[in-house]
Amino acid sequence: MALSNAAARTIADEQAGSIVRVMVVDDSVVIRGLVSRWLAEDSQIDVVAKCANGAIAVEQVGKARPDVIILDIEMPVMDGLTALPKLLAARPGVHVIIASTLTKRNAAISLKALALGAAECLPKPEGNSGITTSADFRRDLLIKVRGLGGLDGVVRPARPAPVPAAAGAPARPVPAAGHGRREIDQKVSLQPYNRGVPRVLVIGSSTGGPQALAKVLGSLDGAIANIPCFITQHMPPTFTAMLAQNIARSTGLPCAEAAQGDVPKAGHIYIAPGGKHLLVKRRGAGHVCQLDDGPPVNFTKPCVDVMFDSVSESYGANILSVILTGMGADGAMGAARIRAAGGNVIAQDEASSVVWGMPGATAQSGACSALLPIEKIGPEISRICRGKTL
């Protein structure tokens, strides 16, 4: 383990949150060096520690004081899953990124790590040569570290067409609290709910999403018995299949990855598969799921906006959309279009979000009727699905 010399970083910079302190934990000296070098090229990232296993990381985390930890799963002496709760206990508030290859076993371990408090998973190419040549891995690494470190703040999307409030009902301003290292300097206006019972529930999520989804879906209390639910969670292939299994097991609700040609059923949950966009199209008097293998949208595949737009086109009004914790602004534009078409939008509040990017951007678009802590979103969905929109 080697500690970097952070003397060149000013105390003012760290206190202002303009520097993210990162610990890299991996048993491969090649990967430790490569990841550290990539991160060090960003002037706002300081690699404060490089550790060969979980035991060394646990020993050094108090001294290193990282904001973000990149944690490998398979290591000698102490593996990542064993080290994770010890690191979280020793450094409260630290964000842990689990670096994992795309195997079924590692997907299951990564989802368990997320349930234990890890913030994000980072798909890792097989072997040192795969990582060395992977531009996608390098890009995603920097995006996740900067996002969890709060360097990029809340991404504000280009504002869509104005969202009309109900006739005679003024927008309700509420203050938006600051998140992480950059505070939002504007107010959020909440719109009155459009009336009507939802015909479909759509949910978008990213960083922190698996935990948030478990809380929301586990508290629906039969609310979606008469409507289908579609979810896009930013995750790679294999991981989304495991996520669907976990949701089905923990909630007792039928949940699976959406497949080409699936006919949506009431009471069922459909997860967009990693690496594919989920579309829902009209077919006769009903609907059908389609998977699209086109390019990433909003730098991600599956994309929340793509799913939201297709559901809006095929279902029209009476859509209930929910945006949960996540980096970036994916879903904000689609949610605004759902609102403009007569649907309703709920976003997770800042305090309960791991990263208030997607819900923050959605709130700032002016499309939301509710901005709620995660524990209140499930009951609110239940209330709306029972026609109580006043």
> Which sequence positions are flagged as catalytic?
206, 234, 330
Whether the Cβ atoms of residue 59 and residue 25 lie closer than 8 Å to each other: no
Residue 63 makes CB contacts below 8 A (sequence gap 6+) with 3
Whether the Cβ atoms of residue 340 and residue 163 lie closer than 8 Å to each other: yes
Number of C-beta neighbours around residue 250 at 10 A: 14
Number of C-beta neighbours around residue 316 at 10 A: 14
In whole angstroms, give the CA distance from residue 109 to residue 115. Answer: 10
Dihedral sign (CA 113, 114, 115, 116): positive
DSSP class of residue 157?
Answer: P
In whole angstroms, give the CA distance from residue 144 to residue 135. Answer: 14
Residue 379 makes CB contacts below 8 A (sequence gap 6+) with 219, 221
